[in-house]
């Protein structure tokens, strides 16, 4: 079993936030980059599959050299291979990841639900669409069923409700949290990992260009929400409440 874990390097804290009006983006000063929290949960699930079933674990990221330390940490914790697609592009990450995964012939793709910096929760779903894979979202536990040769993913539905999905290979699972203990690499293992190879890919090698924007999201405006004391409580069952909410969202978007 070959498992690819898609990870993003994010800052542990940020300062001096400002909105770049001309480029429609947020600029900030940040700390050293670490693995995104839900991606780390996905990584721990992959390490569990390695320990229990001998899976090969590959950590894949898109980013600049500043994400390299995260990859060394991944090697120190047990990843078999780490790959960095060299790009500072943030809008088409799903397409970039899909092209890279297409060259790896994997059985299972694991991602986090959302990144702690952008919090758009879109990459996993876009990636599943790009790869045309069955997928499970907001997963809190995964198990490998050797008899049926499927992955069983426990997905959170909300209000304390869960469902268990049986996914064939290959498939994609987006992990929200894990019951596994988050492992820590020793200083010695990290030093040893820094001597290992970090594989690299470029957008050119994947047949992509830096200015491609097919899945781009644009920041239209950034502002503090208005303060008021109004609050409306919606009544009815969950279907009725959701219907009202969806209609109001649609009206507001017009």
pLDDT value for 120: 78
Give residue 102's domain range. Answer: 2-202
Cα gap 97→85, rounded to integer Å: 8
Residue 42 belongs to a domain with what CATH number? 3.40.50.620
pLDDT for 99 equals 95
Cβ atoms 62, 53 nearer than 8 A: no
pLDDT tens, residue by residue, 26-38? 777 766 788 999 9
Judging by beta carbons within 10 Å of its beta carbon (0-12, 13-18, 19+), is residue 190 exposed, middle or buried?
middle
- Does pTM surpass 0.75? yes
Say what the pLDDT of residue 24 is: 67
Whether the per-residue pLDDT at 240 is higher than 70: the answer is yes
Q: What is the pLDDT of residue 22?
A: 77
Residue 224 in any domain: the answer is no
pLDDT in tens, 62-98: 998 888 999 999 999 999 999 999 987 666 899 999 9
Question: What confidence score (pLDDT) does residue 11 get?
Answer: 84
Asked, for residue 216, whether it belongs to a domain, the answer is no
* Residue 29 domain-assigned (yes or no): yes
Say how many domains are in the chain.
Answer: 1
Q: CB count, 10 Å around CB of 3?
A: 26
Domain annotation covers residue 246:
no
Q: Does residue 160 surpass a pLDDT of 90?
A: no
Domain assignment present for 152: yes
Q: Is residue 210 part of a domain?
A: no
Phi and psi torsions of 118, nearest 5°: -85, -40
- On whether residue 107 sits in a domain, the answer given is yes
Q: Which residue has the higher pLDDT, 245 or 15?
A: 245
| Residue 161 host element (H or E) | strand 161-167
Residue 141 lies in a domain: yes
CA distance 21 to 244: 34
């Amino acid at each position: 079993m070959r498992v690819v874990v898609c990870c993003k390097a994010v800052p542990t804290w940020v300062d001096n936030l400002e909105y770049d009006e001309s480029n429609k983006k947020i600029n900030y000063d940040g700390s050293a980059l670490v693995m995104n929290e839900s991606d780390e949960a996905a990584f721990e699930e992959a390490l569990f599959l390695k320990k229990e079933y001998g899976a090969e674990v590959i950590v894949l990221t898109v980013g600049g050299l500043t994400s390299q330390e995260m990859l060394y940490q991944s090697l120190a914790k047990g990843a078999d291979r780490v790959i960095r697609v060299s790009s500072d592009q943030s809008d088409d990450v799903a397409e970039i990841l899909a092209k890279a995964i297409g060259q790896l012939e994997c059985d299972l793709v694991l991602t986090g639900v959302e990144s702690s910096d952008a919090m758009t929760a879109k990459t996993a779903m876009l990636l599943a669409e790009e790869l045309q894979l069955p997928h499970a979202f907001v997963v809190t536990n995964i198990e490998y069923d050797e008899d049926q040769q499927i992955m069983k993913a426990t997905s959170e539905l909300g209000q304390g409700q869960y469902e268990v999905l049986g996914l064939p290979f290959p498939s994609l699972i987006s992990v929200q949290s894990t019951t596994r203990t988050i492992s820590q690499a020793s200083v010695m293992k990290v030093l040893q990992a820094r001597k290992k190879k970090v594989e690299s890919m470029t957008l050119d090698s994947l047949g992509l260009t830096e200015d491609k924007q097919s899945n781009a999201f644009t920041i239209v405006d950034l502002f503090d929400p208005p303060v008021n004391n109004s609050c409306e409580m919606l009544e009815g069952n969950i279907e009725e409440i959701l219907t009202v909410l969806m209609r109001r969202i649609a009206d507001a978007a017009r």
